Amino acid sequence: MNTNEFTQQMKKVYNRAGSLYQRAGESHVIEYPALLADSLEELRTSLEELRVAEEELRQQNEELQSARETVEAERQRYQELFEFAPDGYLVTDADGTIREANRAAADLLGIAHNYLMGKPLIIFISQEERRAFRTKLLRLREVGSSEREWEVVVKPRHDNCFHAALTVASVRDRQDKVISLRWMMRDITARKEAEEKIRAYHLQNLQLQEASRLKSQFLALMSHELRTPMNAIIGFSQLLLRQRNHNLPSNQANMVERILNSGKHLLKMIEEILDFSKLEAGRLDLDLAEFNLVGLVKETVEELQCLAEQKQLELNIQCCLDNPCVVNDKARLRQILVNLISNAIKFTDSGSILLEAQELSDNRVAIAVKDTGIGIDPSDLQHIFQEFRQINQSLTRDRGGTGLGLAISDRLVRMMQGKIKVESQLGEGSTFQVELPRQIPVELEVIS
């Protein structure tokens, strides 16, 4: 029951009581006792209704008091949340004059809380951004729009400027007029610095990519330019050696032979650089065809047999293939085997080198090159397939090489949908194993 209902009930009771009083004053009522009894009963009923209404009003007052306490508790809770929030919160009028602020806002603006009240928010905005701030504030006042994240440079009273993100919402009256603005202010200096670093890293990455592209282009160009005169040197050296029995003295023939060997060595290095530049640029494709893998292994070993004999090394073959036919790029697979066998010969001073070809599950084959050479330090194994990287420079300085052979082999094997791995013990030798699918689909799009 609300107050109006209670008032109406009271008026009704008073009216009944007045009517009864008037009737009781009449002389003829005394002559009729039954009428007097009815009037008194009606009066008692009205008084009982009045007591019920009074009880309901008391109960409503208690509920209202409880609601007031709840509202006060919520208000206190809101005030505490507002006051101790980690972000700065401000309440301004429609013109941007500060009416309320929490501690975080006072700390961000570098001014005591009691001096912050009544100050225009714009005085804490950097001079360069005040014009834009006024424009946005005017739009908020007229349209009541809000910015999801409005970035400004804030100038505290006694500190350096910092980047801040403002989130603002407008409060309207019943006539839809903006009467106040609520602001959340957050220091985003760390985020801006991180974004700037990311932009710098992105730019640096683009520069590195461009440098890598130019490097690959330069290597490809220089390799082509160097290979032409090198082929001429090798060709003329071979021509002179064919005629040495007729025209060249023995010492000159030896010099020409040294020129020929050096030319072949340089040509091999140039071809490695050219292959690497093609791999980096993604311009090297596989020429897939069916061939005999065992035959390829034997041909490669025979070709390099003379290098092993020069160091008095045994070069053996062990093939355990039920079906020697595979579909792959024969020339590139030969290049991989030449790199692995040449490395084994280069880093083996005594003992033997064994080539194993065997079947694997899932229709795959494996070729392993095992040597009894100097081995590889465990700390160098993770870098063994990196380009231009040679293990233990003090040991390899006198053995030559560009440091590209294993890197090229690794990339070629991955192009063939295979994998290459190495196991080694320092001073006990190394084993390089290449695993390949028996057949690469001819329609495969090669990705370097």
Q: What is the pLDDT of residue 42?
A: 73
Q: What is the pLDDT of residue 397?
A: 46
3-state secondary structure the chain: CCHHHHHHHHHHHHHHHHHHHHHHHCHHHHCCHHHHHHHHHHHHHHHHHHHHHHHHHHHHHHHHHHHHHHHHHHHHHHHHHHHHCCCEEEEEECCCEEEEECHHHHHHHCCCHHHHCCCEHHHHECHHHHHHHHHHHHHHHHHCCCCCCEEEEECCCCCCCEEEEEEEEEEECCCCCEEEEEEEEEECHHHHHHHHHHHHHHHHHHHHHHHHHHHHHHHHHHHHHHHHHHHHHHHHHHHHHHCCCCCCCHHHHHHHHHHHHHHHHHHHHHHHHHHHHHHHHCCCCCCCEEEEHHHHHHHHHHHHHHHHHHCCCEEEEEEECCCCEEEECHHHHHHHHHHHHHHHHHCCCCCEEEEEEEEECCCEEEEEEEECCCCCCHHHHCCCCCCCCCCCHHHHHHHCCCCCHHHHHHHHHHHCCCEEEEEEECCCEEEEEEEEECECCCCCCCCC
Q: What is the pLDDT of residue 422?
A: 93
Low-confidence ranges of the chain (pLDDT < 50): 27, 29, 393-394, 396-397, 444-448
Q: What is the pLDDT of residue 366?
A: 94
Q: What is the pLDDT of residue 28?
A: 53
Q: 54 is written with which tokens?
A: 């009074």
Q: What is the pLDDT of residue 420?
A: 93
Q: What is the pLDDT of residue 431?
A: 94
Q: What is the pLDDT of residue 325?
A: 92
In the chain the first and final C-alpha atoms are separated, in Å, by 85
